[in-house]
Structure 1
Amino acid sequence: MSVFIDSAAAGGEHANALRDVLSPTAEIFYPNSTEFNSLSARWSTLAQPKVNVAVVPFSDDDVVKIVQYAKKAKLPILAYNGAHGAITTLGRMQGGIEIYLGRLSSVVVAPDGRTATIGGGISSKAVIDALWSTGKQTVTGTCECVSVLGPGLGGGHGWLQGHYGLVADQFVSMNVVLADGTLQTVDTNSDLWWAMKGAGQNFGIVTSLTSKIYDIKHYDWAIETLIFSGDKVEAVYQAANDYLSPVPVNLINWSYWLNIPSADPDKPVILFYLIQEGTTAVNSVYTKPFHDIGPISIEAESGDYRDLARWTQVALDSAPCQKTGLANPRFPAYIKEYNVSAQRLEYDIFAAEASGNSPFSASIFMFEAYPVQGVQAVESDSTAFAFRSDNILTAPLITYTPTGHELDQQAAALGKKLRGIIHEGSGSEELHAYVNYAFGDESPRNWYGCEQWRQDRLKALKQKYDPEGRFSFFGPILQGV
């Protein structure tokens, strides 16, 4: 039976109309109810979208009916899932229908064991666990509470990308509700296929996906977590350039700059992860150069693939998966290798502005170095994801309790300053920004590639499939729409 929570809030008449066309199991919630507040909560409260009603579909046809109704009623729509996208362009959504996809969460492995069909709203953890139980795995995002499609439509980095490529590179076909309210199967026979793999948020709502899956090659994984003081910045990142570039196919290197008072009460530390597949201890070939630098601490653990999120603090119960009313803008920039001098300058600014009693003391500077062999094995022009030649994803994450416009401006200024140093140090003329981490002030060239043919192709597809700009809140291809 449909659930309706009456409210004087805007959207009541639309909810009543939707009740007549949706399936009996679909749910509709009004503002100020517990359910609405939970479903519409976002990980970052900066420039968050505002919706009048939250609709929970239980089938593809429900999504079709919602999109058709919204089109007729001239209401904006926005698909919700993990709600971790923090891009400020989402704030242009002011009143309309939230389509919460979390109930579309099935996993069906094909009889040949080569693909699985998954619901468009399923979380990465749910897919990992379901496939693991059958001896299979695939590339998903690293954070357990994000969906597969959320990062995947923007490319999607993952632990296994060294072997198989990005999340988007696993796509075989998908069912997509387009702007005109039709449900279409999109695959290699469609001109839209190219765009869905890197800029897919601009073209529709994916209700189900068929993805490549693989036999589990290695059950053993190991990690070393090293903590360094800030005076070791040059040594740590020079060693990363010397010994981890390119990152071996079975190795992942992440690092965070963050405040850990028990390790250093005054300044941020470098939390440095070395993660290796197919072993119970990270090979000393990789660890010794970093041991020689003199870390504050070293912790080694072993387990399996399902432990990676916990080890790196992106599990369901980790802080990044909690929605606590904080603002969490990120300022991403891809680079090919570390500019050690720039790393020092970034660290000094970050330490000066995000330590002690600073309102930004909970911030983290993120450096994600995945193996890229599988990513770069895919032709760059074959997908809308444009940055296959880059090796490292960087992003200051400026976390704070919002108090008003002035603090928002200070946070943005800090994030842009740090991103600017990274970009300048990279030597790249154009800023390459991972759209899933984007702040929102970047351009479509920064999100989807600076080549004119890329921009022209995306604009032509947008004009063909979404001429009214129904899907233009997340990293819009056409600015100002």
Structure 2
Amino acid sequence: MYATVSSCNDSFKSGREGLLRRGACEESLAQRLSDRANIYCPGSQEFKNSTQRWSTLEAPTFRATVEVATEGDVMEVVKYANEHELPFLAVNNAHGAITTVGQLQNGIMIWMRQLNSVKITEDGQMATFGGGVLDKAVTDALWAAGKQTVTGGCECVSVIGPGLGGGHGLLQARHGLVSDQFVSLNMVMADGSLKTIDHASDLWFAVRGAGHNFGIVTSITSKIYNVQFPNWAFRNFTFTGDKLEALYSNINEHFLKDDEQPVDLFHYSVILKNAAIDANNPIISFYILQEGVDIVEDAVVAPFLALGPVSTFSGSGDYPALPSWIGWGNNAATCQHSGLANTRFPIELQHYNITAQRSMYNLLSNTLNEIPALNRSVVLLEGYSQQGVKAFSSKESAYPFRGSNLLLAPVVRYIEEDEKLAKEGKDLGEALRDILHVGSGRVTKRTYVNYAFGTESFQEIYGDEFWRRKRLLALKKKYDPSGKFSFYAPIA
């Protein structure tokens, strides 16, 4: 038995002519794979479905999708690609929007979705996750066993992808980043061999923050925890733009006053167009999430109610419900592959510079009025508690920005029409980020690698300490000297 090959179109001819039309690589590769693997070729509906991405801008192109079913399949695809001098890229749910992946053309896509297992150890202290498993599957499987761990907030995103870049999550105040939970991981290397990476490996530093550059993770073993606070509550407020200064001043005062947000709170806001509320200017949707309560405490809510929101609503439930409350669930627009260019321009900050917030808002408002094609654009402002993140030394892993309290990201969205619109979108995103950067007072922009646009420097993504660059470059030279894994925020 060997892998199924999907034809390039429904009417391909059999025999040698059909084989050539499909491409000999698909047939010969199929014979090397397990019987549950699949190969999808251009022209088939499966290929079209598999290669759709969350962002269309500067997307990679592929000559085939290989849906792997085993760790051995991943190894064989990498070896095969090397033999035929083909580039390759591992993909989970295709939410990596960084434009550097567009440098991969006519390659092989390694689709990881069948590697989606969740296995809890007998002692209940750890779990092993398959390399293609998504956040919701992990949260639900662990929750059923009375367990949880740090994952990203979006249900539709993988655990592994964000984890390789550090990985912010709603439980990070208690336990640290997604990557801080790693105990070991299995990784297919540039030559197709398999390595188990743990604290004894020199790669342990690199895979937790710059891991996209070193291999394809087929599984990780992660720390897990007993559920301590099953209940959470949220409160949402909608504000018009004239309340911006008061809102973000309140957040600075009540959430970030001592440079440390309370461990049981998460705040999140989105600046976006909503013509039903204000036809000319963006509005601000602001959320407070609190752990261990059924109603967000009055003392937390009161300063924001006093500002006079346009509307407010609230709710409560258990931890797995959180993503659906704030628009990060599987059914939310955030998770759909809608044929948009979704470009992010992230920056990590300590607190809100109110003057910069106003300048950023005004630029966004004016530009969306001038260029209606960009009207889907938003600004995300994520405020995670950092106690668990700061408990780990920044020297222990490649993730460099453990002291940052805020993750802000202008997200410029549009339907690709022409190069002019793409340039206008990029210019807007960069300008919004530049305003926030100047307001931070820092020399270097702190850019979260998992949200990066693709034009950022090494220092902006991986930190400006000289020793970081030296160490990562040495590891890259040792483990991937030919740059097989240099399509996602490459180390250079």
TM-score by length of 1: 0.98
Q: Does 1:84 align with 2:95?
A: yes
Contact 2:7–2:22 (8 Å) recurs in 1: no
Instruction: State the match for 2:397 in structure 1.
Output: 383
Contact 1:346–1:421 (8 Å) recurs in 2: yes
Q: Does 1:25 align with 2:26?
A: no
Contact 1:268–1:355 (8 Å) recurs in 2: no
Aligned with residue 136 of structure 2, among 118, 125, 133: 125
16-25 or 422-431, which moves further after superposition? 16-25
CA distance in 1, matches of 2:274, 2:161: 30
Kindly state the Cα deviation for residue 302 of structure 1 after the two structures are TM-superposed.
0.8
SS of alignment partner, residue 141 of structure 2 = helix
Instruction: State the match for 1:95 in structure 2.
Output: 106
CA distance in 1, matches of 2:241, 2:420: 29
Kindly state the Cα deviation for residue 355 of structure 1 after the two structures are TM-superposed.
4.3
Kindly state the Cα deviation for residue 264 of structure 1 after the two structures are TM-superposed.
2.0
Q: Does 1:422 align with 2:433?
A: no
Instruction: State the match for 2:406 in structure 1.
Output: 392
Q: Does 1:459 align with 2:473?
A: yes
SS of alignment partner, residue 273 of structure 1 = strand
Kindly state the Cα deviation for residue 2 of structure 1 after the two structures are TM-superposed.
2.4
Instruction: State the match for 1:183 in structure 2.
Output: 194
Kindly state the Cα deviation for residue 219 of structure 1 after the two structures are TM-superposed.
1.3
Q: Deviations over 1:251-273 (max 9, x none)?
A: 00000001122222221111000
Instruction: State the match for 2:13 in structure 1.
Output: none
Instruction: State the match for 1:271 in structure 2.
Output: 285
Instruction: State the match for 1:327 in structure 2.
Output: 341
Instruction: State the match for 1:317 in structure 2.
Output: 331
Matches within 5 A, 1:8-23: 12-23=23-34
CA distance in 1, matches of 2:178, 2:232: 20
Q: Does 1:347 align with 2:361?
A: yes
Instruction: State the match for 2:238 in structure 1.
Output: 227
Contact 1:10–1:52 (8 Å) recurs in 2: no
SS of alignment partner, residue 281 of structure 2 = coil
387-396 or 16-25, which moves further after superposition? 16-25
Contact 2:104–2:487 (8 Å) recurs in 1: yes
CA distance in 2, matches of 1:220, 1:355: 42
Aligned with residue 137 of structure 1, among 138, 148, 172: 148
Q: Does 1:198 align with 2:199?
A: no
Aligned with residue 367 of structure 1, among 355, 358, 381: 381
CA distance in 2, matches of 1:114, 1:253: 30
CA distance in 2, matches of 1:405, 1:187: 45
Contact 1:155–1:197 (8 Å) recurs in 2: yes
Q: Residue 52 and residue 213 in structure 1: after superposition, are their counterparts in 2 closer, same or farther (change >3 A)?
A: same
Instruction: State the match for 1:114 in structure 2.
Output: 125
Contact 2:386–2:405 (8 Å) recurs in 1: yes
Kindly state the Cα deviation for residue 10 of structure 1 after the two structures are TM-superposed.
8.2
CA distance in 1, matches of 2:275, 2:122: 52
Matches within 5 A, 1:139-288: 139-245=150-256, 246-288=260-302
CA distance in 2, matches of 1:136, 1:50: 39
SS of alignment partner, residue 434 of structure 2 = helix
Kindly state the Cα deviation for residue 293 of structure 1 after the two structures are TM-superposed.
1.1
TM-score by length of 2: 0.96
SS of alignment partner, residue 118 of structure 1 = strand
Instruction: State the match for 2:82 in structure 1.
Output: 71
SS of alignment partner, residue 395 of structure 2 = helix
Q: Does 1:444 align with 2:458?
A: yes
Instruction: State the match for 1:468 in structure 2.
Output: 482
Q: Deviations over 1:171-229 (max 9, x none)?
A: 00000000011011000010001100000000000000000000001111000000000
169-178 or 260-269, which moves further after superposition? 260-269
Kindly state the Cα deviation for residue 11 of structure 1 after the two structures are TM-superposed.
7.2
Contact 1:11–1:52 (8 Å) recurs in 2: no
CA distance in 1, matches of 2:21, 2:491: 30
- Name the % identity: 46
CA distance in 1, matches of 2:81, 2:381: 40
Kindly state the Cα deviation for residue 62 of structure 1 after the two structures are TM-superposed.
0.5
CA distance in 1, matches of 2:294, 2:237: 17
RMSD over aligned CA atoms reads 1.2
SS of alignment partner, residue 208 of structure 2 = helix
Q: Residue 248 and residue 10 in structure 1: after superposition, are their counterparts in 2 closer, same or farther (change >3 A)?
A: farther
Contact 1:244–1:286 (8 Å) recurs in 2: no
Contact 1:333–1:434 (8 Å) recurs in 2: yes
Tell me the amino acid that sits aligned with residue 212 of structure 2: Q
SS of alignment partner, residue 309 of structure 2 = coil
Tell me the amino acid that sits aligned with residue 376 of structure 2: A
Contact 1:6–1:12 (8 Å) recurs in 2: no
Q: Deviations over 1:139-178 (max 9, x none)?
A: 0010000000111100000000000000000000000000
CA distance in 1, matches of 2:187, 2:369: 45
Instruction: State the match for 1:6 in structure 2.
Output: 7
CA distance in 2, matches of 1:133, 1:443: 42
Tell me the amino acid that sits aligned with residue 292 of structure 1: A
Contact 1:259–1:355 (8 Å) recurs in 2: no
Q: Does 1:59 align with 2:73?
A: no
CA distance in 2, matches of 1:11, 1:257: 47
CA distance in 1, matches of 2:471, 2:336: 38
Contact 1:237–1:338 (8 Å) recurs in 2: yes
Aligned with residue 317 of structure 2, among 303, 309, 334: 303
CA distance in 1, matches of 2:114, 2:21: 25
Equivalenced residue count is 478
Instruction: State the match for 2:14 in structure 1.
Output: none
Q: Deviations over 1:50-81 (max 9, x none)?
A: 11100011100000011111111111010011
CA distance in 2, matches of 1:11, 1:421: 51
SS of alignment partner, residue 371 of structure 1 = coil
